[in-house]
Structure 1
Amino acid sequence: MTVEKKGVTSDWLAVELDGNHHPSRENAVVAASQTLTDGLVVSLNANGQVQVYGGATDEVAAGIFVGEAATGVGETAKGVIVARNAKVVAEKLTFKSGLAGAKQTAALADLAKLHITTVRSA
């Protein structure tokens, strides 16, 4: 599985909610056999662990990964995702290599339900 690295967090994250009540970020467990990069759209597996969003019919985008993590077979790791209440630059997000435009649009619609909305690039 290949993902393309596009830049740093400040390239894709325009605004996020800080604070104690409903912060934008959430700690997460990275699933086994994953290579996650900053700005990558992710989903959750059956165990609630973060994985690359692949666009499967029943798959739902759950957030955007912050930082980098790589796990081997049978390994998990700690990570952070933007899980709610943020504005992002869609053109700067990263998707699984080869993911069709319609699947990317579906992922952005899933994120919008989490109040992660897009802004235009400057």
Structure 2
Amino acid sequence: MSSSKTYTLGKPTSAWLATELDGNHRPSRENKIVAPGQTLKDGMVVGYDEDSHIVQISASNTNAVGIFVGDTVTTASNETGQGVIIARAAKVVGENLVFPDGLTVDTQAQVFLALAQLDITLVRSA
């Protein structure tokens, strides 16, 4: 397990984030623990594993809890890491989000519904 460190808010985002809540400490964001064996990239939709650590969304785990933001975090199979997610109240460009290869359109629709429950809604790209 990695040692505890201070979380960062993440770098400025790419074209996937249209807007988020304004205010002190970026209220749309949350610090999270990244599960072992992950490579999470900016704009990647994430869910929780059985230990409540964030993992990339998959066909078998469509319950999205947010969108990873910031520099790529890669964890070894025996360590956790630290990351930041957009967890609420944001508008995102759906076609610019990062999904695993092979995720069907129907599965992506389930993911977008889960994000909508968090008040993370889709907008069209400019």
Q: Where on the TM-score scale, by shorter chain, does this alignment land: which range? A: 0.7 to 0.9
Within 5 A, what are the aligned runs for 1:17-32? 17-20=21-24, 23-32=27-36
Q: Deviations 1:3-54 (Å, cap 9, x if unpaired)?
A: xxxxx72300000003259810000000000011100000011111000100
Question: Are positions 1:35 and 2:17 aligned together?
Answer: no
Preserved CA contact (<8 Å) 1:55 1:107: no
TM-score, normalising length: structure 2: 0.85
Within 5 A, what are the aligned runs for 1:60-75? 60-67=63-70, 68-75=72-79
Flag the 1:21–1:11 CA change in 2: closer, same or farther, 3 A. closer
Partner of 2:51: 47
Q: How large is the RMSD of aligned CA atoms in angstroms?
A: 1.7
1:15 is paired with a residue of what secondary structure?
Answer: strand
Kindly, what percent of the aligned residue pairs are identical?
A: 51
TM-score, normalising length: structure 1: 0.87
Which ranges of structure 1 fall in alignment gaps of 5 or more residues? 1-7
Which ranges of structure 2 fall in alignment gaps of 5 or more residues? 1-11
C-alpha distance in 2 between matches for 1:59 and 1:104: 8
Equivalent pairs counted in the alignment come to 114
2:52 is paired with a residue of what secondary structure?
Answer: coil
Q: 1:83 aligns with which of 74, 79, 87?
A: 87
